[in-house]
Structure 1
Amino acid sequence: MPFRIGLSGLQAAAADLQVTGNNIANTATVGFKQSRAEFADVYAQAYGGISKTAIGSGVRLGATTQQFSQGNIEYTENSLDLAINGQGFFVLNDDGGRSYTRAGQFQVDRDGFVVNSNGQHLQVYPPNETGVTDTTFNTGTLDDLKLEFGDNAPAATESVDAAMNLVSDAMPPVDSKGAPITVIDVDDPNTFNYSTSVTVYDSLGTPRTMTLYYLKLGTGTGTVADPVKSTPGEWKVYAELDGLIPGKTPDASQTKNIFFDSNGNLDTTKTTGLPWKPKFDLATNYLPNNGATIGYVDTTKTPPVPTNEVSIDIADLTQYGTKYSVSDLSQDGFTTGRLTGFDVDQTGVVFARYSNGQSGILGKVALANFKNPQGLQQLGDNNWAETFAAGDPTFGDPGTSNLGLIQSGGLEAANVDLAEELVSLITAQRNYQANAQTISTADQITQTIINIR
């Protein structure tokens, strides 16, 4: 019996050494979870035996359990390197099978799918509308994440936001006779007070410059008897695109009279027809004549019809003080965009970024969790498989319920404490030596008995 007890101790110490050695070997393995050897004592009980005089029969390996504590996140320069900060597992598709991992070393295969080093596809929730940023996700299904490498299509400018201050005591420009000017000539800076430009885009992505010209209106003939005076709060604004063909007449909607009240705010009772919608006929009045349109599309018609009208929001124009300033002049169109990269935010949303400043959503990384992660079956290659002991997987969005957040450009290091493992290595070695000594001592006792004459 002492031999059996010592032998069981040797086997247990050897198992402890193997578990510790495996932890040490995987110190640099991304997403690795350290294991712990758990032992149980052995008692051989016979029916009717007296437990208080029973002597143990040794030790056995009860279980080898993995410890799913959080590993440190190490940052990289690859946006497709993903780490989970908290609970959960990435979901992988392996030729129709499903496995789970904490290792987020992902890359792109020849077909554009995001895979790990084993060629297993990362699973995401597909967007309900592709290529846009204001979309929801179909959380009832999981799809392989596929990156799109094509160009981002252009979009015509539909609206312009203009916010600026016009000088309240600006003097009306006058002609050669001293009379106030009433018509803006874009080629003559003496016919307007201020101008400011913004780049807009037609439906083919061609950039065009839109300029807004402001003219302070006045009264009088310019004579001593009838001097020029400003018309209180009244301006004329003119919108023009570059490329107007000489001799072509701009649409009348491109000119508008605007009025300010005594507090310097736009008087919407006199300034009617807001938002202002000047029309630009690109097909006949402007070069290049590339067949493009501009402005918003009338969706009430079938099929939808381009209007060539750009909606200009001038509600934030003011007439304060003595300084002209532009606080905002923006538009919503953009040109063709080349793919510049991919990003994943902390909630798992995968974006494609383009050179035109736009981005499109490709999916949302799905995470899974289990009631008993220690019951998962280890598959190797940093993967686990679900089992009855682990319970059914629950899927969800990163950052919801008990699931962690996604860290893009980072990898979760192994949660192995190397110093602790080295101490465990020494302890296991001592245990092995001590159990070997038990066998040696038992051998000496046996030899003594044999030698009795």
Structure 2
Amino acid sequence: MSFYTSLTGLKNAQTNLNVAANNIANAETGGFKKSKVEFADIVAVSILTDPSLTQGIGSRTLAITQEFSLGPVEQTGNALDLAINGDGFFTTVSPLSAQVQYTRAGSFTIDENGFIRNGQGNRLQVFPVDAAGVVDPTGAPADAQIPATNAAGSEFAGATVNTDGTLIATYADGTNTPIGGVALASFLAPTGLKQLGNSSWVATGKSGAATYGQPGSGLYGSLLSGSLERSNVDIAEELVGLITAQRYFQANAKAIDTATQISQTIIQLRS
């Protein structure tokens, strides 16, 4: 039994190493959130088992959870580089599949049709504005699109985003036009979000449905324009974790080696 017990330890150590390696590999990935491994012991008992003689039969991976702590913020000077100073996720929609995705990576650009999109081509979602140009946070989020010209026919000159998420387009005649308000999403259980890669997630039954709000309201953090959130991976912490996982692996391998030597001794005694 000791062989199989130590084997579970080897598998868990390998899982721990894989997670740590993935964290380190994404130390420079914008908006990336590190993961950690949780283990649980395995105990096999029956109704006739004496509790004082119960022994474990190994361990297993209980969960691999994400940590959504805020990563360091880097200033870029680009108006459409956005960082969330608090909780919440940017909401984007794929124009091809219409899939709603959530991300903390706020590097956005304007495409040839005026849509604001991220590196994957997904379009940023914003709340609509009323006739007075005031953001309506009760409205359904829609694609952020900047008209090439305003009502007077002046050409688009640039865009800015306020701390409350209001997206404003500036035109050549000096006028400013509110386009919408950046819609931030929050979840009851963000650790239940499904990872898609590219620092993006989708909602699941474990995360609950998304609730939307304006930056700076309620639990939603304010927006920092001209800044990007970096990965929340701490290299020093991960390297210490790698050393610990290596020792864990070596200890279980040594236990298997010891069990092998005992078995060989018993076989030699019988012969």
Q: What's the TM-score once normalised by structure 2's chain length? A: 0.94
Tell me which residue corresponds to 1:144.
143
Tell me which residue corresponds to 1:124.
126
AA aligned to 1:21 is A
Matched residue SS, 1:360: strand
Q: Determine which of 104, 107, 115 is the counterpart of 2:106.
A: 104
Tell me which residue corresponds to 2:57.
57
Tell me which residue corresponds to 2:160.
343
2:69 paired with 1:69? yes
- Aligned counterparts, 1:36-435, within 5 A: 36-94=36-94, 95-129=97-131, 134-137=133-136, 139-150=138-149, 153=152, 338-435=155-252
Deviations 1:89-146 (A, max 9, x none): 11111232211111111112221111111111110011123xx7x4342622111001
Deviations 1:156-211 (A, max 9, x none): xxxxxxxxxxxxxxxxxxxxxxxxxxxxxxxxxxxxxxxxxxxxxxxxxxxxxxxx
CA shift, 1:379, in A, is: 1.4
Matched residue SS, 1:68: coil
CA shift, 1:51, in A, is: 2.0
CA distance in 2: counterparts of 1:351 and 1:50, whole angstroms: 72
Matched residue SS, 1:47: coil
CA distance in 2: counterparts of 1:417 and 1:11, whole angstroms: 24
**Does the 8 Å CA contact 1:152/1:354 hold for their aligned counterparts?**
no
CA distance in 1: counterparts of 2:51 and 2:124, whole angstroms: 56
Matched residue SS, 2:90: strand
CA distance in 2: counterparts of 1:426 and 1:152, whole angstroms: 63
**Does the 8 Å CA contact 2:10/2:252 hold for their aligned counterparts?**
yes
**Does the 8 Å CA contact 1:152/1:339 hold for their aligned counterparts?**
no
Matched residue SS, 1:92: strand
Unaligned runs of 5+ in 2: none
CA shift, 1:149, in A, is: 2.3
**Does the 8 Å CA contact 1:33/1:415 hold for their aligned counterparts?**
yes
CA shift, 1:337, in A, is: 5.2
Matched residue SS, 2:207: coil
Runs of 4+ in 1 over 2 A off after TM superposition: 134-140, 336-340, 354-358
CA shift, 1:42, in A, is: 0.7
Tell me which residue corresponds to 2:3.
3
CA distance in 1: counterparts of 2:57 and 2:51, whole angstroms: 13
Tell me which residue corresponds to 1:452.
269
Provide closer, same or farther for how the CA distance between residues 136 and 88 of structure 1 changes in structure 2, counting only shifts above 3 A.
closer
- Aligned counterparts, 1:15-30, within 5 A: 15-30=15-30
AA aligned to 2:69 is S
CA distance in 1: counterparts of 2:135 and 2:247, whole angstroms: 59
Tell me which residue corresponds to 1:443.
260
CA distance in 2: counterparts of 1:374 and 1:136, whole angstroms: 30
CA distance in 1: counterparts of 2:216 and 2:144, whole angstroms: 19
Deviations 1:359-403 (A, max 9, x none): 110110000101110011111121111111111211111111111
Please provide the CA RMSD for this pair. Answer: 1.5
CA shift, 1:52, in A, is: 2.1
Provide closer, same or farther for how the CA distance between residues 425 and 393 of structure 1 changes in structure 2, counting only shifts above 3 A.
same
Question: What number of residue pairs does the alignment pair up?
Answer: 268
Q: What's the TM-score once normalised by structure 1's chain length? A: 0.57
Matched residue SS, 1:45: coil
**Does the 8 Å CA contact 2:149/2:171 hold for their aligned counterparts?**
no
Higher Cα Rg: structure 1 or 2? 1
CA distance in 1: counterparts of 2:13 and 2:106, whole angstroms: 34
CA distance in 2: counterparts of 1:135 and 1:83, whole angstroms: 22
AA aligned to 1:395 is Y
Provide closer, same or farther for how the CA distance between residues 75 and 435 of structure 1 changes in structure 2, counting only shifts above 3 A.
same
CA distance in 1: counterparts of 2:52 and 2:26, whole angstroms: 44
**Does the 8 Å CA contact 1:38/1:64 hold for their aligned counterparts?**
yes
**Does the 8 Å CA contact 1:128/1:138 hold for their aligned counterparts?**
no
CA shift, 1:47, in A, is: 2.3
